[in-house]
Amino acid sequence: MTPKGSIIGGLSLIVIIVYLFVTAPLPLQENQKIGKLISITQVFETLNEENRIVRRLYTKDIVGAGEKNGLRFDEDWRDAAVEAGPLPAQFLRATAMSLERSKVRLGLYLGSDYPINSANKFSGEQLLKFHELRKTGNPQFFFVNDVKLYSYMFADMAIAKPCVQCHNDHQDTPKSDWQLNDMMGATTWTYPGQAVTFDEYFEIMLALRKAFKAAYAAYLDKVSTFKNPPDIGEKWPQQGYYLPSLAVFSQAIEQQASVKTLRAISNVVAEKLYYAPSSSSTHQAK
């Protein structure tokens, strides 16, 4: 692990730092109390940035590089007869399924107006919000009344050639002229609360990190069943018929995502310390 990675290697350090800032006695006047709740929009923004970084890592450094060196990826990767790993959309779905099994009530959904799988097709209010997202490029925050969930929709872009090629070439695709950097759909996060405590914030963040690792671990489990599995260890697909181990993949996530996550959390802490609202106020959905 690099010196930089050892310093920012995981959220455990972030938890300790913020715990010390938040819980240590502060020389504040009585009317300068720290706001105890964090807007769920701030949480969603941090989660989405982590997801963006991890999806880029998996799409480019695992799928894109892997396909050039003998690795295969398929939407039916879980079938016993298919020697392949999950495509980026399936990797996100595996992450979402792991979140569903966790104790946090965080939802993650990938949808589109032109999906390959009809189960991912936007409809109703989600479709209206997606049209607004496509028109403005601005993330859409809204409350879904029938399920009582706060939702935040972010653009899902075609960040690499494998995304474009897969959708354009698929036999069931409703659209075959996707280009690099097109908005192919949207990632939507859901949560039942309008605001969370610091403890809940970290619990949610740690649950997402665990979900990423569980999705990659499921891929490595499938690889172990291949007749000719790639070597798993320190090397990456760019170097040949290799895959990084779970520890190496997890370290890459921490090194690439933790700096931005620490910055985001630090900004929240600073806001609570120096720009705290009255103890009775909370962030309102817009």
| Spatial contact of 93 and 106, defined as CB atoms under 8 Å apart | no
Phi-psi region of 124 (alpha: psi -120 to 50; beta: other; left: phi over 0): left
Residue 16 confidence (pLDDT) = 46
Q: Spell 176-185 as b/e; 16+ CB within 10 A means b.
A: eebeeeebbb
Nearest 5°: CA angle at 128, between 53 and 139?
A: 30
The two structure tokens encoding residue 247: 């520890």
Residue 24 confidence (pLDDT) = 44
Residue 4 confidence (pLDDT) = 45
Those residues with Cβ within 8 angstroms of residue 76's Cβ, 6 or more apart along the chain or in another chain: 82, 84
Residue 15 confidence (pLDDT) = 53
Phi-psi region of 161 (alpha: psi -120 to 50; beta: other; left: phi over 0): alpha
| Spatial contact of 46 and 261, defined as CB atoms under 8 Å apart | yes
Residue with tokens 């405590």: 197
CA 269 – CA 26 distance, rounded (Å): 13
Residue 118 confidence (pLDDT) = 82
Residue 269 confidence (pLDDT) = 64
CA 175 – CA 96 distance, rounded (Å): 25
Query: pTM score > 0.75 for this model?
Result: yes
Residue 136 confidence (pLDDT) = 94
Q: Which residues of the chain have pLDDT under 70?
A: 1-36, 259, 264-266, 268-286
Q: What share of the chain is helix, strand, coil (3-state, %, to 5)?
A: 50, 15, 35
The two structure tokens encoding residue 231: 């070597």
Those residues with Cβ within 8 angstroms of residue 89's Cβ, 6 or more apart along the chain or in another chain: 75, 110
165 backbone dihedrals φ, ψ, rounded to 5°: -60, -40
Residue 6 confidence (pLDDT) = 42
Looking at the DSSP bridge assignments, the partners of residue 121 are 112
3-state secondary structure of 29: coil
